[in-house]
Amino acid sequence: MNFIFVEVLFMAETEQQLTRKISPYKIIYPVIIGVGVVAYMLYREFDPAAFREITFTWHSVAWLLVAVLCMFIRDFGYIVRIRVLSGGRLSWWSAVRVIFLWEFTSAVTPSAVGGTSIAILFVNKEGIKVGRSSAMVMATSFLDELYFILMFPIILICVSQSRLWDMPGVSQGVTTGLLWVAVTGYSLKLIYLIILSYGLFRNPRGLKWLLMKCFKLRILRKWRHSANEAGSDIIRNSYELRHQPLSFWLKTFGATFFSWTARYWVVNALLMAFWAGKYGWGDHFLIFARQLVMWIMMLVSPTPGGSGFAEFVFKEYLGEFLPGASVAIAIAILWRLVTYYPYLFAGAFIVPKWLAKHFGRKQKVNE
């Protein structure tokens, strides 16, 4: 129900309230959290001797470029997907702008919240009607969740459970805690996908009825009118999405698959940059599998973009593939520099221009 609730709030909030959430000044919060957690971990576990195993060569440069290329593929897949979902109504540049604004919003909001409600605004301001915009964002949400729901069981079948969950040097308590975080994250995604699929493809009016029942609660009653509008949008979106040809879903899910898969190969490329030849294909697949599980864990992170939590989980969950805890922390920093911080700083440049264009140069975004 996450998407549905944020769409209700989108309809209830004014555009000025929504744009406050994407202020470029908000990059300071995840940066402070991330740097603070990393500094604390380094303080506790710094070992200069461990860094002697890192050798930086032209081979390292080549694999670092591969890591960056993986992120380029990831973004390109998202851009292609949003173009297909728009029916070609978004230009290539508009699609690029929407994706980077969307990623910036996701980076400065808690992982459990994401940037879904603001994404509707981004697409709408690029010339797409609100109804169509919500249908596009709803479809992206469905495709993303479908990727995780399909890939997680495949990972469990293909990878030994002892290899997936048992980590040398990590206490049983931490291992058990991470396992339950992953199970919780997957369960939330599965429940959400079932509800969304039922509402989109089976009984949209039934989902609207359930939504209206929820918004009869006293704490939610003031948004009841917006919930009714959101329910009507779901019915319209359902008709549009159900009548898309198979080729539409193959294209959009194909782009989704390549986007997420490319993102997970980033860590493999980073390890190849400094320890090429140390890992076999089995190890690389296990590293890929653990990254997918890590992302499911990050769903329940309360910090913006998973800052702090992501670095901690990386060190604990992938530390066995690195020569020491301090090196694991260093690679975690490099991983976030490639996969997370670029969206923060790109957004800091794009957001002010976007706000000035769509809301007037004199409008100020108050914190």
| Whole-number Å distance between alpha carbons of 239 and 201 | 8
Nearest to 24 by CA among 356, 298, 307, 362: 356
Burial class (CB in 10 A: 0-12, 13-18, 19+), 56: exposed
| Helix axes 224-242 and 204-214, enclosed angle (nearest 10) | 160
What are the start-end ranges of the H helices in 276-340?
281-298, 309-318, 325-339
Q: For position 343, what pLDDT does the model report?
A: 85
State both tokens at 41: 């971990």
| Whole-number Å distance between alpha carbons of 204 and 344 | 36
Sign of the dihedral through C-alpha 196, 200, 203, 208: positive
Backbone angles phi, psi at 203, to 5 degrees: -145, 75
Half-sphere exposure of 112 (CA within 13 A, CB side): 10
Burial class (CB in 10 A: 0-12, 13-18, 19+), 227: buried
**Polymer length in residues for the chain:** 367
Tell me which DSSP letter residue 304 carries.
Answer: B
Q: For position 243, what pLDDT does the model report?
A: 82
Task: Give domain limits for the chain.
Answer: 2-48+58-359
| Whole-number Å distance between alpha carbons of 287 and 156 | 13
Give residue-wise pLDDT tens across range 309-340: 777 778 777 878 887 777 777 888 888 888 88
Sign of the dihedral through C-alpha 159, 162, 168, 172: positive
Nearest to 307 by CA among 282, 337, 351, 283: 337
The distance from CA 184 to its chain's CA centroid, rounded to whole angstroms, is: 17
Half-sphere exposure of 137 (CA within 13 A, CB side): 29
Q: Which residues pair with 304 in a beta bridge?
A: 110
| Whole-number Å distance between alpha carbons of 5 and 117 | 9
Residue given tokens 């109504």 in the structure block: 89
pLDDT grade for 260, boundaries at 50, 70 and 90? very high
Task: Report the pLDDT averaged over residues 113-122.
Answer: 68
How far, in Å, are 1, 12, 27, 115, 226 from residue 7 at the CA level? 10, 9, 24, 11, 9
State both tokens at 217: 């609660």
Q: For position 108, what pLDDT does the model report?
A: 75
Of the listed ranges 57-71, 287-301, 330-344, the least confidently predicted one is: 287-301
Q: For position 51, what pLDDT does the model report?
A: 58
Which residue type occupies 210? L
pLDDT grade for 119, boundaries at 50, 70 and 90? confident
Q: Mean of the per-residue pLDDT values for the chain?
A: 77
CB 337 within 8 A of CB 35: no
Of the listed ranges 69-78, 155-164, 207-216, 244-253, the least confidently predicted one is: 207-216
Task: Report the pLDDT averaged over residues 125-138.
Answer: 79
Of the listed ranges 20-29, 157-166, 249-258, 353-362, the least confidently predicted one is: 20-29
pLDDT grade for 366, boundaries at 50, 70 and 90? very low
Of 85 and 229, the structure prediction assigns the larger pLDDT to 85
| Whole-number Å distance between alpha carbons of 79 and 126 | 14
Give residue-wise pLDDT tens across range 211-225: 777 777 777 677 677
Task: Report the pLDDT averaged over residues 103-119.
Answer: 69
